Structure 1
Amino acid sequence: MDTHSISLIITLLLVFFSAICGGIVAKFLKQPTLLGYIAVGVLFGNLLSRWIDQSFLQTIADTGVTLLLFTLGVEFSFHRLRKILGSVVWAVTAQMFLSMFVCFLVLLGVGLEFLPSLFIAVAASLSSTALAVKILSERGELETLHGEIAVGWCVIQDLSVVPVMLLLPAIVGVQASGTATITATILVVVMSLVKAGLALALIIFLGRKGIPRLLNLVAGLGSREIFLITTIGIVFLAALITYALGLSTALGAFIAGLLISETSQNHAIFAEVRPLRDIFSVVFFVSLGMVLPIASVVHQAPLLLGMTFLVMIVKWFLVFGLSRYMGYHRKTAFLVAVALMQMSEFGFIIAKVGSSLGVLTGDRYVFLVSLTFFTMFVGTPLLAGGHAVYYLFYRTIGKLLPRLFSSKQELTPNREELPIKNHIVICGYGRVGKYIGRALDMAKIPFLVVEYNQATVSELRSKGIQVVYGDPADKDVLDFAQVDFARAIVIAIPDRHTQEMIIGNAQTLNRRIRIICRTHHEEDQRHLKSLGVHTIVQPEFEAALSVIERILPEFGVTPEDLSGKISRLKIEHGLG
């Protein structure tokens, strides 16, 4: 075995060892694994640089980013986009342009050149879909109002990557040609936007017509190997075509993913490609860290920390203000803004594109990668503890800030007492709360809903259902809902911190009230019991019992034996 082959093997070993160590550290710190990959990559890349084959690392990293963008495209949902397109697309556009403008001016002001400032500002305007979806899903908040808005916001930003990837190289070309007049720049921007519009139109057309037919034909052969090879072929063919047109190969892969996302085989394709994506994307993130010189990061630390703070505050303020302007409750607006504070994984990809175009060299490339890393590192725990951060904020700094776009209902205090007693208060009228309300309505049991989704409140009022608009964790809101005269309160909100505040306020208003609470986590049951919750319902456990009640009788289990087994399960689960 020659020296070059040994160098390649050592490089791969270091990459995978870095990934394992980084993944373990990230899991221990409850951070996204990609942050661990980059951090340990920085450490190993600086300590063991002489053992690493940089050209080989660059080649497999480029392959990794191609597959990474392809799978991001496959996961893209036009259906999800249509659901929120009319309501937030203008707000997303405004947020991106204003974020870019502010960051661009600040970067120019601190001495960065025009093109590096532009690339960094564009990257700063995007937010991470992967982080938002992962954390919201873990907390059971993906289908809540703020979860849907945040994910929809990210989806529209992801779609904007297509024109961004077209515009940036075009502007670089104008600057390089020496004809960077205002007229020439505007002409290039207009032409690039036209190209982007045609590209999106082609994506939609082929995604509905051409690609599905090809994949149906290949799927009909019944061979997984041919199906996988065809899929990978589509990815690299799209990357090659965009490269031939003078565009980024990563853009071609993303477009290929968008095409396939509209086919009926998209889930099967994602399952087939995901192992390859995972391996190569790990290499990509580790390689990002390995090429970052620690000395350069330390040298730029003051500017990095300042820009991290600026980017996150600017994006939070813009998203919060725009959400309030659209009529969302301040808690919804706050949680959406927190979910979008961090930069996107596309920041790493824009850094790669800028490096390949010769725009982001040396310290500028290190600055963008480090800035993306820092905002994600700081933003992740803020998003994970979003509800606690919200209540802490409004108990402290929030009192000093002016009210932004407050609705008439929020500004009008609840003075008149509602004519209701011996009722049930339902906190949250989402997937769980609406069925509880429907059952109580059929049983003619008086109930009242506390909800801060304005659309839900309007719908309930149109149906004649009593509802209070406000945050159920607010003691004044619960007082107006006549909790002191209620027989029971149902907490159908999944967030633990909000649950704790509702429980405490409800018990302060009415010591005899019966509290029924949902939870997604078994470990929260003992804690909720200690707070005085009478009945705890875990939806996943109840679903399991429902399946058991249906399947065991088919295997000859008697009703008495079935009842005994279910009782045993409840005891083991802590509900006996």
Structure 2
Amino acid sequence: MPEAIITVSTLLLIFSAAILGGLTAMRLGLPLMIGYVFAGIAVGHLFPAFIEHGFLTSVADTGVTLLLFTVGVEFPFHRLKKTIGIVMPAALIQILLVAVAVSLIGSLAGFRPAFAVLTGIIVALSSTAIIVKYLGDRGELDSLSGELAASWMVVQDLSVIPIMVFLPVLTGAFLLTDPAATFTIATLSLAKTVAVLGSVFLLGRWGVPKALNLIAGLKNREIFVLSTVGLIFLCALATYAAGLSAPLGAFLAGLIVSETSQNHAIFSEIRPLRDLFAVVFFTSLGMLLPGTFVLSYLPVILMLTVLILSVKSGVQFVSGRIAGLHRRVAFLLALLLLPVSEFGFIIAREGAQAGSVSGMEYNLLVSVVLMSAILSAPLPAYSGLLYRRFNRLLSSVPQLFNASEPDIGDDGLPLKDHVVICGYGRVGRYIGRALAFCSIPFAVIDFNHATVKAVRQAGFTAVYGDPSDPRILDFAQVDLAKVLVVAIPDLHTQEMVIKNALQLNKRIRIYCRTHFEEDQQLLKELGVHTVIQPEFEAALTLTGKLLSDFGVGRTESEKKMTRLKIEHGMG
């Protein structure tokens, strides 16, 4: 087959596989990344004669380079500001403990030390794409667990830089028998790291911002995009020439750009390329992975994945408790951070190219990363149910740590005819402020110790603990309260709070928030008097202002708003 035709057929198969895999993943409720890879495996197995593997490898390399640049541009440094004191030490402990634990287990199981260590490093990292997508869909990115998870992943993603830099050292440590040669490799890697990161810092501080300002001043979109792409490959080439990874250079270029004033403009221009090359990378990755291998080693892949996820969740939970997080928050964080990072594919590729792992071991690593996403993706949705099931077992854990324990006393709070606010995030905080303005007594229940401390310092009543715990609700005098406000976004927690509150006080009036229309009926059946959906309330406010701008009278406007409420189930 002519070279030009086989190149076209390779691209056609990549995009066909991506479309089919994406549609299948959507139907099954799985991350699209999994659909791309598995469709790639199937197409690569069925049509090997129509695929140019050399070209496919080049496409995958280009895809991962641009993908990592956009990851760097999007890097949420601002998310670290709020939780860095809690997250940074705990995240570093978690990465180290998971890497060491999995490495030891792999070595004891008979795997080669280089493969065991690389596996430990890879599974210690969590998938930003999967986790952020889940939190965004659930409207929980700004919740306590969402903010902690985002900050935790920032630390993990930053740790990729030293990991990729020191991969040659790992290879040398296991493949070279001469300690002097290994020491030489380590010294050279350290020197290269210092030189590259120093250059990146200087460029990011003075060179790139000035250059981008000059280019932006030309007011030519094409030149701006070309210059940005040129910067990506220049940094990739520089790191490759220094003996490091080209994708690492692209990631560093993204970090440089993320701190410039043009970062949003650059991201808007590059985003279509990011989406395209993300699809190309994951699909081509599957096409390069032998389908027969996955089927032959499926029992081994499943066993390894379950073992790794068990170790990772346990270490993650312990790290959260060491950081002083409430037991429930640490448990949810452990479930959220289970999927192994997309960087796992990249680190595995770099390890294979450096000689740290064989072809069979590389295939096994990629398969485990994929299986971790499949097995762990559904778990956070059932966190409330899982937490209740394992709560008795977990109740013996707190005494091992210095984490703050729930406020539970014998007499309860000195309150009556008050409002109990469960969850004091963005919604609960405004409700509390309004009640304070009107001198209406209220008590806050939250499992964020910093939030509880701030409320108490402001002179109001707050209880540290799990709002779904009947002991905590009883201590907050729910049996004597007039109103209960459930400002927690998680449906499973909401159900438990409502059921336990009604057992204590059948006459209490309950207000509850929800992000999803389909949850309204369930919440009302549980006993909620008023269900508030923030997005719908925002739509009503905007509609009222728009109708006023177009001269619709107040009476007529209220009729239209009432009709909308009836259609929405609030009439």
How far is the alpha carbon of 1:311 from its aligned partner? 1.9
CA distance change for structure 1 residues 409 and 122 in 2, over 3 Å: closer, same or farther? Answer: closer
- Letter matched to residue 104 of structure 1: S
| Comparing 102-111 and 298-307, the one that deviates more | 298-307
Conserved 8 A contact 2:18-2:283: yes
Conserved 8 A contact 2:408-2:475: no
Partner residue in 2 for 1:67: 66
Give distance in 1, aligned partners of 2:382 and 2:183.
44
Q: TM-score, normalised by structure 1?
A: 0.94
Partner residue in 1 for 2:222: 225
1:418 and 2:413 aligned: yes
Conserved 8 A contact 1:163-1:193: no
1:291 and 2:284 aligned: no
Give distance in 1, aligned partners of 2:558 and 2:318.
54
- Letter matched to residue 427 of structure 1: C
Give distance in 2, aligned partners of 1:538 and 1:204.
45
How far is the alpha carbon of 1:288 from its aligned partner? 1.5
1:391 and 2:388 aligned: yes
1:242 and 2:239 aligned: yes
Conserved 8 A contact 2:321-2:398: no
Partner residue in 2 for 1:430: 425
Give distance in 2, aligned partners of 1:323 and 1:175.
33
Q: Map Cα deviations across residues 86-136 of structure 1 (whole Å, 9 max, x no partner).
A: 332222222112211121222222332233333222111111112121111
How far is the alpha carbon of 1:462 from its aligned partner? 1.5
Conserved 8 A contact 2:419-2:482: yes
1:31 and 2:30 aligned: yes
Q: 2:401 aligns with which of 384, 401, 405?
A: 405
Conserved 8 A contact 1:311-1:341: no
Give distance in 2, aligned partners of 1:379 and 1:10.
35
Conserved 8 A contact 1:425-1:486: yes
Give distance in 1, aligned partners of 2:388 and 2:512.
20
CA distance change for structure 1 residues 12 and 489 in 2, over 3 Å: closer, same or farther? Answer: same
- Letter matched to residue 22 of structure 2: G
Alignment gaps of 5+ in structure 2: none
Conserved 8 A contact 1:163-1:192: no
Give distance in 1, aligned partners of 2:514 and 2:457.
30
How far is the alpha carbon of 1:152 from its aligned partner? 0.7
Q: 1:362 aligns with which of 359, 362, 383?
A: 359
Give distance in 1, aligned partners of 2:131 and 2:198.
28
For 1:309-348, what aligned pairs fall within 5 Å after superposition? 309-348=306-345
Conserved 8 A contact 1:162-1:196: no
Partner residue in 2 for 1:522: 517
Give distance in 2, aligned partners of 1:84 and 1:196.
28
Give distance in 2, aligned partners of 1:394 and 1:203.
48
Give distance in 2, aligned partners of 1:331 and 1:196.
40
Partner residue in 1 for 2:457: 462
- Letter matched to residue 169 of structure 1: P
CA distance change for structure 1 residues 37 and 368 in 2, over 3 Å: closer, same or farther? Answer: same
- Letter matched to residue 94 of structure 1: I
Give distance in 2, aligned partners of 1:107 and 1:508.
50
- Letter matched to residue 210 of structure 1: G
Give distance in 2, aligned partners of 1:384 and 1:69.
29
Q: Map Cα deviations across residues 143-184 of structure 1 (whole Å, 9 max, x no partner).
A: 1222111111110111111111110024325655x4541x65
How far is the alpha carbon of 1:387 from its aligned partner? 2.9
Give distance in 2, aligned partners of 1:349 and 1:369.
9
Partner residue in 2 for 1:548: 543
- Letter matched to residue 53 of structure 2: Q
Q: TM-score, normalised by structure 2?
A: 0.95
| Comparing 539-548 and 28-37, the one that deviates more | 539-548
1:281 and 2:269 aligned: no
| Comparing 185-194 and 250-259, the one that deviates more | 185-194
Give distance in 1, aligned partners of 2:196 and 2:384.
40
CA distance change for structure 1 residues 564 and 198 in 2, over 3 Å: closer, same or farther? Answer: farther
CA distance change for structure 1 residues 267 and 386 in 2, over 3 Å: closer, same or farther? Answer: farther
Partner residue in 2 for 1:125: 124
Conserved 8 A contact 1:70-1:254: yes
Conserved 8 A contact 1:324-1:404: no
Q: Map Cα deviations across residues 444-463 of structure 1 (whole Å, 9 max, x no partner).
A: 11111111111111111122
Partner residue in 2 for 1:478: 473
Give distance in 1, aligned partners of 2:313 and 2:345.
21
Give distance in 1, aligned partners of 2:494 and 2:459.
27
How far is the alpha carbon of 1:198 from its aligned partner? 5.1
Give distance in 1, aligned partners of 2:2 and 2:149.
51
| Comparing 107-116 and 214-223, the one that deviates more | 107-116
Give distance in 1, aligned partners of 2:52 and 2:248.
27
How far is the alpha carbon of 1:291 from its aligned partner? 2.0
Identical residues among aligned pairs (%): 50
Partner residue in 2 for 1:562: 557
Q: Map Cα deviations across residues 526-563 of structure 1 (whole Å, 9 max, x no partner).
A: 22122221111111111122222333322222222222
Partner residue in 1 for 2:4: 5
Conserved 8 A contact 2:135-2:141: yes
SS in 2 for 1:360: coil
Q: Map Cα deviations across residues 195-227 of structure 1 (whole Å, 9 max, x no partner).
A: 435544543443232212111111111121111
1:261 and 2:267 aligned: no
Give distance in 2, aligned partners of 1:135 and 1:281.
18
Number of aligned residue pairs:
571
Partner residue in 1 for 2:213: 216
SS in 1 for 2:70: helix
Q: 1:495 aligns with which of 490, 499, 518?
A: 490
